[in-house]
Amino acid sequence: MTKPVAIIGVGQTKYTSRRTDVTSAALVREAVQGALDSAGVRREELDAIVLGSAPMGFEGTNLIEKWLVDAAGAKLKPYFRIHTGGSVGGSTGIGGYYHVASGEYDLVLAVAFEKLSEGEPQYWLSVTYDPFWGRDLAAGAPGLVGMQAHQYMARYPDVKPEHFAKIAVRHRRHALRNPHAHLHLDLNEADVLNAPMVTSPLRLYDCCPTSDGACAILFASERKARELSARPAWITGAATVAEAAFHPSQDIAHSEAAVQAARKAYARAGITDPVRDLDVVELYDAFTPHFLIWSECLGLTEAGGGADFVDRGIGELDSILPINPSGGVLSSNPIGATALIRQAEAALQVMGRAGERQVPGVTRSMAHGWGGWLQFHTVMVLSAEREGLSA
Amino acid sequence: MADGAVYIVDWETSDLIPAHRDKNHHELVYPVVSRLLERAGVRQSEVDLLVDSGSDFLDGRGLSTMTIVDALGGHLREECKVEDDGMWSLIYARMRVLAGTANLALVVSYGKSSESDPHWQSESVLDPYVGRPIGLDRLSASALQASAYIAASGVSDDAAATIAACRHQSAARSLRTPRAVSITEDEIKRQEPLIGPLRPAYMPAVGDGACALLLAEATTARRLTDRPVRIAGASSATDTFSIGDRDLLRLASLRVSADACAARAGWSATDADVLELSGATPFEEMLICQALGLAESSHADEYLAADSARRVNQSGGLLGADPVLVTGLIRTVEAAERIRKGAQRALAHSASGLAMQANAIMALEPGW
């Protein structure tokens, strides 16, 4: 059966446009050392390591984990790399979780990174498409999400650009309390609504930045967690669900993979009413419309409830369910690490170690990841208690 | 989880040939997955988990799984891609079955090396600052390693030719490698080395292929098959990156993973009836054998040349067919087939990175 697993350490670099002072290896090393130091663990004590990065074209090195093995603390240890596009940080953290949940390992490090300043991310996102019939249409990530947002707005006419602007302002305001965040922007809604158009309906501040950065999480068995941490974050549910990129019943404004990932992770964690049961959520808000769409898919609001969800201020730090107190993806986006950062931030909230961005009294949190053509979703539920809620 | 073990229920492969020119990636992989599920009597919706191996660099895509995940069997399934040889995907899928959240898992690996450039594939593994300007690739790294081995241990070219001829003959007989042709020792010795000491017949037969495999916990395995193969142990390790920082002849990462695997299985390579090894050349096979403790370093050539019972690589190994990214999973399938035919202990091995930087190993036994 599933062995109990807890997060006992987190390491993050500062997220920024360009880290010209380090190689990818040195960047990874910073996050790894941070996670080890935060838990008082030495590299030699690690049993296994999982590394995650998004398309290798971003850094231009094939099998890049082979180069990064020493930086990851993985020399002569079980070690492999996961790659599920933008969701890879989520898949990597869940990979670390499963190493321990299998009962085979006690202390496992998951590390994910990206050095987007060294590549052409939108080019590489465009060549994810089929070379014969997909690439003529490819327009990086904003092209896809613009289409998704229009579909959503057409279906629910009460959704307006003003709703997106509120999220753009709010999550940047949250980021002001997060020293790791890439963007520290003090915006108002007019700034967002008057910013240059990137891809309709997405304006500049509706979009995430491209960042350099790395994040690492240390996973422990129950024995190790009790030995090394006074308040670990237990993982009570996790899921990684995929959907075909193109299929006849596809609905780009409502991802079935996200729905099922949430359903599976909540069922494992005993979550029946996520808004009531969760105290904080870290959502993969790469673009502002995602706040509405993913909230709906993840069961935080009903179908079509996105506009009302924003209007009622849910997600504000003093609301019933604070969302992205870290500032989210809209404030930092080293793509390979981005979904692992969601898990790291969700863990820090449960551990009471989120510093100035700490939400008071967090017992349970959830972290989400998105990747591929709206098709790969990861969900992890964390708790101060070892056991999930009993349904 | 009836007994805490994980079983291989069944498997399927494509033909392993230099190029599937008439098939795109979907057309290569979809029939393999479909045949496997059909024969096992399993619907796609009954699979709890897909773990897949594909490569962006090999496929020329930003995210190789994006448009092929449906052909792999991943639509609305729990899924994860491990970007390395399929044996690493199998190792990860096994963990998730052990953890109890998946009762039935599908592992799929595919690669079309014919649509890429093998030199560029492996040169791009080197770091961009120091390693890549040198222009080393998989074969030249392997040749350097072989030269060092010959210098240190005196292993012979005669033995390499004997081993290579044996592999090519085995592959020519195998239904899985229909394009493989026999070559004699004399013919091999008349070949000029392409990269000293590697003659053309010593090189891996890089090509296209796909492989799918079903894993299950005990109760599910019992329901689906009366001939399961039990994974008694599995492990992997990766050595430091720079070739100059490694003892190329020791294969420390193989020794560490073999020890970890043996500790779990309760037996080691010397106890195995069958070994399927991912040596890309006869010299790599020798290095693997000495690291596994099958022969002294200076006698690994004689050990393999005298292996008339074909305990090692009866399939023909990588000289018969080396579908990059699939090779290690093929070794597992070949070893599992031998278990079905009566072997009691089979070891499957995979290698990744230049000069076998990373190694994975899996111990197989009859299910019950």
Residues of A in contact with B96 (CB under 8 A): 98, 102
B94 vs chain A: nearest CA distance in angstroms?
8
Angstrom distance (rounded) from CA B230 to CA B366: 6
Instruction: Kindly state whether A103 is in contact with chain B, defined as any CB-CB distance less than 8 angstroms.
Output: yes
Q: What is the Rg, in whole angstroms, of the alpha carbon atoms belonging to chain B?
A: 19
Contact A175, A185 (CB under 8 A): yes
Return the closest-CA partner of residue A127 out of B324, B66, B188.
B66
Helix (H) or strand (E) holding B138: helix B138-153
- Which distant-in-sequence residues (6+ apart) come within 8 Å of B29 by Cβ? B14, B68, B71, B72, B108, B110, B210, B212
Angstrom distance (rounded) from CA B152 to CA B249: 9
Nearest to B66 among A65, A104, A128 (CB): A128
Return the closest-CA partner of residue B11 out of B366, B345, B332.
B332
CB within 8 Å of chain A, chain B residues 118-157: 121-122, 124-129
CB within 8 Å of chain A, chain B residues 214-243: 235-241
Angstrom distance (rounded) from CA B195 to CA A358: 60
Contact A69, A24 (CB under 8 A): no
Q: Are strands A5-12 and A233-242 parallel, antiparallel or unpaired?
A: antiparallel
Contact B235, A78 (CB under 8 A): yes
Question: What ipTM was reported for this prediction?
Answer: 0.97
CB contact under 8 A, A67 and B125: yes
Residue A330 one-letter amino acid: L
Nearest to A66 among B79, B88, B357 (CB): B357
Angstrom distance (rounded) from CA A49 to CA A197: 42
Nearest to B80 among A63, A75, A82 (CB): A82
pLDDT of A253 reads 94
pLDDT of A200 reads 96
- Which distant-in-sequence residues (6+ apart) come within 8 Å of B278 by Cβ? B85, B288, B317, B318, B327, B328, B331, B349, B350, B351
**Burial class, A223, CB count within 10 angstroms (exposed 0-12 / middle 13-18 / buried 19+):** exposed
A345 vs chain B: nearest CA distance in angstroms?
22
SS3 B361: strand
CB contact under 8 A, B70 and A244: yes
Helix (H) or strand (E) holding B230: strand B229-238
Q: Closest chain B residue to A63 measured between Cα atoms? A: B125
Residues of A in contact with B73 (CB under 8 A): none
The answer to whether the bond into B197 is cis (omega within 30° of 0) is yes
Is the entire prediction scored with pTM above 0.90? yes
A191 vs chain B: nearest CA distance in angstroms?
34
Instruction: Kindly state whether A102 is in contact with chain B, defined as any CB-CB distance less than 8 angstroms.
Output: yes
Q: Closest chain A residue to B235 measured between Cα atoms? A: A78
B239 vs chain A: nearest CA distance in angstroms?
5
Contact A248, A366 (CB under 8 A): no
User: Which ranges of chain A have pLDDT less than 50?
Assistant: 391
Q: What is the Rg, in whole angstroms, of the alpha carbon atoms belonging to chain A?
A: 19
Nearest to B125 among A62, A84, A101 (CB): A62
Report long-range pairs for B36-41 (Cβ below 8 Å, ≥24 apart). B36/B10, B36/B11, B36/B12, B36/B106, B36/B212, B36/B213, B36/B214, B37/B73, B37/B106, B37/B214, B39/B10, B39/B12, B40/B9, B40/B10, B40/B214, B40/B224, B40/B225, B41/B224
B121 CA to centre of own chain:
17
Give one word for A2, left, alpha or beta, with left for phi > 0 and alpha for psi -120 to 50.
beta
Nearest to A128 among B62, B92, B257 (CB): B62
B126 CA to centre of own chain:
21
Q: Closest chain B residue to A134 measured between Cα atoms? A: B67
Q: Mutation test of the interface with chain A: which of B3, B80, B129, choosing the one with the most A Cβ atoms within 10 A? A: B80
Nearest to B57 among A25, A62, A80 (CB): A62
Tokens representing residue A283 in the block: 């959502």
Instruction: Kindly state whether B30 is in contact with chain A, defined as any CB-CB distance less than 8 angstroms.
Output: no
Residues of A in contact with B236 (CB under 8 A): 78-80
CB contact under 8 A, A83 and B56: yes
Q: Which residue has the tokens 């079905």?
A: B340
Residues of A in contact with B125 (CB under 8 A): 61-63, 66-67
pLDDT of A76 reads 98
Angstrom distance (rounded) from CA B22 to CA B196: 35
Q: Are strands A107-115 and B358-366 parallel, antiparallel or unpaired?
A: unpaired
Helix (H) or strand (E) holding B260: helix B252-265
Residues of A in contact with B48 (CB under 8 A): none
Helix (H) or strand (E) holding A89: helix A88-101
Angstrom distance (rounded) from CA B188 to CA A372: 47
CB contact under 8 A, B67 and A246: yes
Tokens representing residue A342 in the block: 């969601």
Angstrom distance (rounded) from CA B57 to CA B64: 9
Q: Closest chain A residue to B245 measured between Cα atoms? A: A70
Contact B223, B328 (CB under 8 A): no
pLDDT of A111 reads 98
pLDDT of B146 reads 98
Angstrom distance (rounded) from CA B80 to CA A110: 15
Residues of B in contact with A245 (CB under 8 A): 66-67, 69-70
The partner residues of A202 in beta bridges, in order of sequence, read A199
pLDDT of B129 reads 85
Q: Closest chain B residue to A246 measured between Cα atoms? A: B67
Return the closest-CA partner of residue A364 out of A282, A302, A280, A299.
A280
Angstrom distance (rounded) from CA B33 to CA A271: 35
Angstrom distance (rounded) from CA A62 to CA B260: 28
CB contact under 8 A, B80 and A74: no
The partner residues of B276 in beta bridges, in order of sequence, read B348
pLDDT of B121 reads 87
pLDDT of B341 reads 97
Angstrom distance (rounded) from CA B113 to CA B321: 12
* Residue A21: Cβ within 10 Å count: 7
Nearest to A240 among B70, B79, B241 (CB): B79
DSSP assignment of B316-353: -HHHH-EETTTHHHHHHHHHHHHHHTT-S-EEEEEEES
Return the closest-CA partner of residue B261 out of B94, B145, B105, B100.
B94
pLDDT of A106 reads 98
DSSP assignment of A253-316: TS-HHHHHHHHHHHHHHT-SSHHHH-SEEE---SBTHHHHHHHHHTTSS-TT-HHHHHHTTBTB
pLDDT of B60 reads 85
- Residues listed for chain A: 391
CB contact under 8 A, B98 and A102: yes
Q: pLDDT tens per residue, chain B (368 residues)? A: 346 799 999 999 999 999 999 999 999 999 999 999 999 999 999 999 999 999 998 988 888 898 899 999 999 999 999 999 999 999 999 999 999 999 999 999 999 999 998 888 888 999 888 888 888 999 999 999 999 999 999 999 999 999 999 999 999 999 999 999 999 999 999 999 999 999 999 999 999 999 999 999 999 999 999 999 999 999 999 999 999 999 999 999 999 999 999 999 999 999 999 999 999 999 999 999 999 999 999 999 999 999 988 899 999 999 999 999 999 999 999 999 999 999 999 999 999 999 999 999 999 999 98
